[in-house]
Amino acid sequence: MTFETYDSSMDVLTPLLKGYLDALHFLEQVGIETLPIRKEPFMTKQPRSISPEPMKKRENAARSLNELEERLKNCSRCKLAKGRTHLVFGEGNPQAELMFVGEGPGRDEDLQGRPFVGRAGQLLTRIISAMNRKRSDVYIANIVKCRPPNNRNPEPDEVKACMPFLLKQIEIVRPKVICALGGVAFQNLMETKAPISKLRGNLYPWREGIYLIPTFHPAFLLRNPAKKREVWEDVQKIMAFLKGEKQS
């Protein structure tokens, strides 16, 4: 079976195997032809027991996110509310080290009420898999939580109405790194008008011990597949940072 003939609807594949294939597919597209092989045994240490304190913090974070989402269910703070099917709050690990922030929901996201589930979302899932993570390991949200008409960029008044809730999500999750997907996300989080093409791939101190790195939006990559290698370089920097390696 090749990547070209792979059908995501094949129910003979387990979710774990599909995740591996997604990751390999993305790596193949960015030109990675070989991977290192582990020489040590797969399990060299006994798994550590989880202390109750981290579990309690996780539960508290999940509860806080649920309460915030509940507050927003009938939101009408901006004109985007009139056209939405579902509010797209965000999803993932309530204590994720890594958070992805896009610009706003598209058609598929509006219909399902979940972030990044369309074609661009499927590519983001492959990128996350290539980072040796699952979607459930990270947290995914957007600058605005309702779909802009015809997938246009969110307007300043819409961003102003929604940004406090994204900032509250970030405050609850407290990631170590935020990966801003695309210029809209980066410019609004960093309060800059600088083009992402000039600044992508660099880690910027953001606030309260959180770093931010901009990279291209998956939807942009669908139109410009040659840029996938640059995104792979960017996510490698994220992985190195989360491992505690110094950045050059």
For residue range 1-15, list pLDDT tens digits in order: 443 444 544 454 555
Residue 7 falls inside a structural domain: no
Average pLDDT over residues 59-84: 96
Residue 157 falls inside a structural domain: yes
Residue 109 falls inside a structural domain: yes
Q: 88 is in which domain, residue-wise?
A: 15-35+54-242
For residue range 171-206, list pLDDT tens digits in order: 999 999 999 999 999 999 999 999 998 899 999 999
Residue 2 falls inside a structural domain: no
Residue 74 falls inside a structural domain: yes
CATH code, 107: 3.40.470.10
Contacts of 50 (CB under 8 A, 6+ apart): none
Residue 3 falls inside a structural domain: no
Residues 124, 134: contact at Cβ < 8 Å?
A: no
Residue 236 falls inside a structural domain: yes
What local confidence, expressed as pLDDT, does residue 14 receive? Answer: 59
Query: How many domains does the chain fold into?
Result: 1
Q: Identify the helix (H) or strand (E) that includes residue 241.
A: helix 228-242
pLDDT more than 70, % of the chain: 77
CA angle, corner 103, sides to 213 and 124, nearest 5? 65
Average pLDDT over residues 97-124: 97
In this predicted structure, the answer to whether residue 81 has a pLDDT above a threshold of 60 is: yes
For residue range 51-60, list pLDDT tens digits in order: 566 777 889 9
Confidence of residue 209 (pLDDT cuts 50, 70, 90): very high
Supply the angle between the helices 119-130 and 228-242 in degrees, to the nearest 10.
50
In this predicted structure, the answer to whether residue 40 has a pLDDT above a threshold of 50 is: no
In this predicted structure, the answer to whether residue 50 has a pLDDT above a threshold of 50 is: no
Mean pLDDT, all residues of the chain = 86
Residue 164 falls inside a structural domain: yes
